[in-house]
Amino acid sequence: MMRLLLQILRNNSSLKSELNGGTKASALPKLFSRQLHAPTQPPSFGIAFDIDGVLLRGETSIGGSPQALRRLYYHSANSCSIRGGVPESERAKELSKQLGVDILPLQVIQGHTPFRELVKRYEDDLIVAVGKGAPGRVMTEYGFKNVLSIDDYASCFPNIDPLAQYKKWTKMQPTDREMALRTDPCSQRVQAVFIVSDPVDWSRDIQVLCDILRTGGLPGREIAHQPPLFFANDDIAYQALFPAERLGMGAFRIALESIFNRIHTNNMEYTSYGKPNPFVFKNAENVLLQVLQSAYNNIQSSGEMQPFKRLYMIGDNPSVDINGAKQAGHPWFSILTRTGVFKGIGNHADYPADLVVNSVEEAVDYILRKEHTS
């Protein structure tokens, strides 16, 4: 599951007082509000946290993450988070509660946020959104005008899921069904499919997606050219509450692709926006620059100018977090924790990090001390 929290900080002498005692949590909202709008010295470094396995395990904080984030918020101008499945406003409230710091909707980006860039291309076309949470609502809020969740879409095709009668746990909201019926998807060609978050009903979703992709967007019709398929991330596994890693969107993609390629003449075509794609890290830099410019009116970013001396990636998965930071290159510095997917004693053999620590709190302590003495 690609979930990432980004933080940009100010590198100045106030770090010293924090290292000698910190600040009270009750003072954070006032300090945060003041720094967000104050035209002070801009941050010189930023931090990207993978959420699952670094800050959270399921819905529970780990590795001293609340304390670590409170230390950063004392010096922070702003921050962003990347998760998925619900609108940014809802995710901001959820993260604020789980991590004990104030996170505003303005500061939140998610794994599927790059889908916004495709609104002009598919604004009025019928698209299908797949995943847990509210994928249809997410895409609608981005500006897509003719979007259905895969739940809504499948419900309009009788018998499309041969196992539906055995799934007593499924339930559709009446308002969703009404919306689906108004769009009459049986007569419209699906122009694109977006995997917004981790799919829930793999058997049905693979069946329906194969129908859509093989027929050019008209299930039950003749074989035609595959419509575009987009994945918000390609993480094969992530660390949740269960001791062993759980399968993620990347595993679903492999399952779908394997079946599609066996039953169709051409291989499945798709685009994935997740780590370790360097695009994710470049996009994170661009978002931070945008937030910087909104918070610090004196920042002028153009051409080759790079206001960050360093950007730290703190992750638990060597193959995506560390590998992605390495591919992104300067100014990224990778830190690997032992609280999630990686639990080794030394460094990872195939994707070694610049630094290995036991927890996110230890990583933040290292960063604050390094930036204070640099």
In this predicted model, what pLDDT tens digit does every residue of 232-246 receive, in sequence order? 998 898 888 888 889
Mean of per-residue pLDDT scores for the chain: 81
Give the model's confidence band at 104: pLDDT under 50 very low, under 70 low, under 90 confident, else very high. Answer: low
The three-class DSSP label of residue 204 is helix
Model pLDDT, residue 120: 96
Task: Inform me whether the pLDDT recorded for 59 exceeds 90.
Answer: no
The structure's pTM equals 0.79
The whole-angstrom separation of Cα 290 and Cα 194 is 26
Model pLDDT, residue 77: 37
Give me 70's structure tokens. Answer: 């409170």
∠ CA 309-355-233 to the nearest 5 degrees? 80
**Cα-flanking dihedrals φ and ψ of residue 308, to 5°?**
-95, 125
**Cα-flanking dihedrals φ and ψ of residue 139, to 5°?**
-70, -35
H-helix or E-strand spanning residue 162:
none
Q: From residue 200, how far is each of 2, 247, 251, 255, 258 by CA, in Å?
A: 16, 11, 13, 14, 18
Model pLDDT, residue 80: 52
Give me 310's structure tokens. Answer: 């360093």
The whole-angstrom separation of Cα 53 and Cα 351 is 17
* All structural domains of the chain: 41-109+275-373 (3.40.50.1000), 113-163+184-272 (3.40.50.1000)
The whole-angstrom separation of Cα 190 and Cα 269 is 15
In this predicted model, what pLDDT tens digit does every residue of 125-147 receive, in sequence order? 999 999 999 999 999 999 999 99
∠ CA 175-184-198 to the nearest 5 degrees? 60
Q: What is the mean pLDDT of residues 146-150?
A: 95
In this predicted model, what pLDDT tens digit does every residue of 79-89 receive, in sequence order? 455 556 787 77
Give the model's confidence band at 50: pLDDT under 50 very low, under 70 low, under 90 confident, else very high. Answer: confident
**Cα-flanking dihedrals φ and ψ of residue 208, to 5°?**
-65, -40
Task: Inform me whether the pLDDT recorded for 78 exceeds 80.
Answer: no
Give me 292's structure tokens. Answer: 């910087």
Q: Hey, what's the torsion of the CAs at 253, 258, 262, 266, to 10 degrees?
A: 50
